[in-house]
């Protein structure tokens, strides 16, 4: 598989990038996983809720580490205790700090005691389990992974990461190739077998017409959106945000740019999520509505502008990365909004500069995507008034008392059913206020050599399809 970069961390206690997390899923097993509605389900362990602050997990099957030792409750405790140790420096400690104590009752049973009730607690237990005796030795797992997953690590180098499937000894090699065009050339030449995502729409379409490969698609959950700066005197006005939403023809963009391989987004969580919303306010494409809404926007004297025909216009800056696809999308938005009287000034930067500007609030409009979202507590991180960077990812500086109250109520609820309804009400509020403008959920896709069979795509982009696919031999490349 050709990938866009190197997996940065093969110790699951410290991994934060998507590529590392996907590779780690192949090397390590975790207590729980998620079903198609993104609700937690047992992986290594099933569980019982003994009280709102007391959870008991039971290992439900024998699992062996690659050194042959058996995974037991002691390993689970050691793994999570190391994550909770502030001196270890795990980025996952924050989401688990509510754990007050945990202990192994016997080889199969682990008790977790929480400081406060947390109905979402089970969904947080996604750290790959490591062997206790290696943790005690401060083993360098990032260089020599030792897990109980479906694969073992054979080699780590600058050139590639090589895993071996434990059931049939098939080798899986991840080759970092930064340039997307080079990745495509390599798969057409037979130098690699699989590319998953991270190509421009044009390259995906090109691959669809090449005889050596096939392109498979599956519905995805990556949520593209346009962010607004709520500290801006213009964009803090709801009519302007609504005018932009009605003025961009999202379906036309999906059809032209993604060849229909995306679906219109309605909110951060896909509708099929266990607390998703099937029906949300639709901001359909309507230039007439957009023009009417613009009449309600109050433009300060110092921001008044006119076009070459002496007609009043609103000028806004739109920041994006210098990725060619993102710049093309920006120019489409620019062309669609200009006839309405909204003139976008596109500013593109290298990723580091662009992302830093967004975190610092140096923008009026920008576009990004949320990838791999499963837990609804993402709303606290993205939209709570106390989550403005660096305390969270409320990059738009969105502040709304009603949204804050719903986030707090959901966090305090011990009932998942009650939480689901509160989060649904919150999503309706965010959509009504256009806290961010939903664009679409992009499809997952994989480009495969014709020799590859049995590869499956997953909505969150995981690489689990590598565990059951095969490569036919004897075919010319």
pLDDT of residue 309: 83
- Taking alpha carbons only, the member of 70, 76, 40 closest to residue 58 is 76
Q: What is the mean pLDDT of residues 45-60?
A: 97
CA distances from 268 to 153, 374, 383 (A): 35, 10, 11
pLDDT of residue 473: 77
Contact 15, 21 (CB under 8 A): yes
Quote the percentage of the chain above a pLDDT of 90.
88
Q: What is the mean pLDDT of residues 339-345?
A: 96
pLDDT of residue 130: 98
Q: What is the mean pLDDT of residues 158-177?
A: 96
Q: Kindly state the tokens that stand for 403.
A: 């949204």
Place of tokens 């300060």: 300
Distance of alpha carbon 159 from the chain centroid: 26
Helices (H), 152-200: 180-188
Band of residue 264 on the pLDDT scale cut at 50, 70, 90: very high
pLDDT of residue 474: 55
pLDDT of residue 282: 86
pLDDT tens, 466-476?
Answer: 999 999 875 44
* DSSP at 127: P
pLDDT tens, 370-412?
Answer: 988 899 999 999 999 999 998 889 999 999 999 999 999 999 9
Q: Which domains does the chain have, with CATH numbers?
A: 7-136 (3.90.76.10), 220-441 (3.10.105.10)
pLDDT of residue 476: 41
Rg (C-alpha) for the chain, rounded Å, is: 24
Q: What is the mean pLDDT of residues 305-333?
A: 92
pLDDT over 60 at 477, yes or no = no
pLDDT of residue 450: 96
pLDDT over 80 at 138, yes or no = yes
Residues in contact with 268: Cβ distance below 8 Å, sequence separation at least 6, in sequence order: 223, 225, 370, 373, 378, 379, 382, 427, 430, 436
Residues in contact with 302: Cβ distance below 8 Å, sequence separation at least 6, in sequence order: none
The pTM score is 0.88
Overall residue count recorded for the chain in this entry: 477
- Taking alpha carbons only, the member of 456, 436, 467 closest to residue 217 is 456
pLDDT over 60 at 9, yes or no = yes
CA distances from 346 to 169, 263, 332 (A): 51, 25, 11
- Taking alpha carbons only, the member of 400, 398, 418 closest to residue 410 is 418
Q: Are strands 452-453 and 161-165 parallel, antiparallel or unpaired?
A: unpaired
Q: What is the mean pLDDT of residues 96-122?
A: 96
pLDDT tens, 359-380?
Answer: 999 999 999 999 888 999 999 9
Distance CA 349, CA 382 (A): 23
Q: Which of 127-136, 201-210, 303-312 has the lowest mean pLDDT?
A: 303-312
Band of residue 278 on the pLDDT scale cut at 50, 70, 90: confident
- Round the average pLDDT of the chain to a whole number and report it: 95
Distance CA 283, CA 437 (A): 9
Distance CA 239, CA 217 (A): 37
Band of residue 98 on the pLDDT scale cut at 50, 70, 90: very high
Q: What is the mean pLDDT of residues 183-210?
A: 96
Place of tokens 């920008």: 366
pLDDT of residue 193: 98
């Amino acid at each position: 598989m050709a990938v866009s970069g190197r997996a940065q961390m093969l110790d699951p206690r410290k991994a934060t990038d998507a590529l590392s997390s996907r590779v780690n899923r192949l090397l390590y097993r975790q207590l729980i996983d998620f079903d198609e509605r993104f609700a937690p389900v047992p992986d290594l362990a099933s569980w019982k809720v003994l009280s709102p602050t007391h959870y008991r997990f039971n290992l439900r099957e024998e699992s062996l580490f690659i050194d042959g030792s058996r995974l037991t409750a002691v390993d689970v405790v050691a793994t999570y205790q190391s994550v909770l140790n502030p001196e270890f420096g795990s980025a996952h400690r924050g989401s688990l700090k509510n754990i007050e104590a945990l202990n192994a009752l016997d080889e199969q049973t682990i008790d977790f005691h929480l400081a406060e009730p947390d109905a979402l607690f089970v969904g947080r237990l996604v750290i790959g389990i490591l062997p206790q005796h290696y943790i005690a030795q401060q083993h360098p797992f990032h260089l020599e992974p030792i897990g109980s997953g479906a694969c073992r690590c054979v080699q780590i180098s600058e050139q590639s990461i090589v895993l071996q499937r434990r059931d049939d000894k098939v080798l899986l090699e991840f080759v970092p190739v930064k340039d997307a065009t080079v990745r495509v050339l390599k798969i057409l030449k037979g130098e690699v077998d699989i590319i998953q995502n991270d190509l421009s729409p044009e390259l995906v379409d090109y691959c669809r017409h090449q005889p050596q490969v096939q392109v498979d698609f599956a519905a995805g959950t990556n949520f593209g959106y346009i962010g607004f700066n709520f500290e801006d005197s213009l964009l803090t006005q709801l009519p302007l945000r609504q005018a932009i939403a009605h003025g961009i023809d999202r379906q036309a963009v999906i059809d032209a740019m993604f060849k229909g391989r995306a679906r219109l987004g309605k909110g951060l969580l896909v509708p099929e999520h266990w607390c998703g919303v099937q029906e949300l306010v639709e901001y359909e494409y309507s230039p007439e509505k957009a023009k009417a809404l613009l009449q309600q926007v109050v433009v300060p004297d110092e921001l008044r502008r006119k076009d070459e025909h002496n007609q009043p216009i609103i000028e806004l800056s739109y920041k994006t990365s210098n990725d060619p696809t993102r710049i093309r999308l920006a120019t489409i938005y620019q062309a669609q909004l200009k006839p309405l009287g909204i003139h976008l000034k596109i500013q593109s930067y290298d990723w580091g500069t662009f992302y830093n500007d967004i975190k610092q609030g140096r923008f009026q409009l920008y576009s990004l995507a949320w990838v791999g979202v499963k837990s609804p507590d993402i709303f606290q991180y993205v939209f709570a008034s106390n989550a403005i960077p660096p305390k969270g990812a409320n990059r738009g500086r969105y502040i709304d008392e009603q949204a804050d109250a719903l986030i707090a109520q959901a966090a305090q609820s011990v009932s998942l059913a009650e939480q689901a309804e509160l989060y649904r009400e919150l999503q309706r509020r965010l959509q009504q206020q256009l806290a961010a403008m939903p664009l679409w959920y992009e499809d997952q896709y994989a480009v495969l050599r014709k020799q590859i069979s049995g590869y499956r795509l997953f909505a969150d982009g995981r690489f689990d399809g590598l565990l059951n696919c095969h490569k036919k031999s004897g075919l010319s490349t």
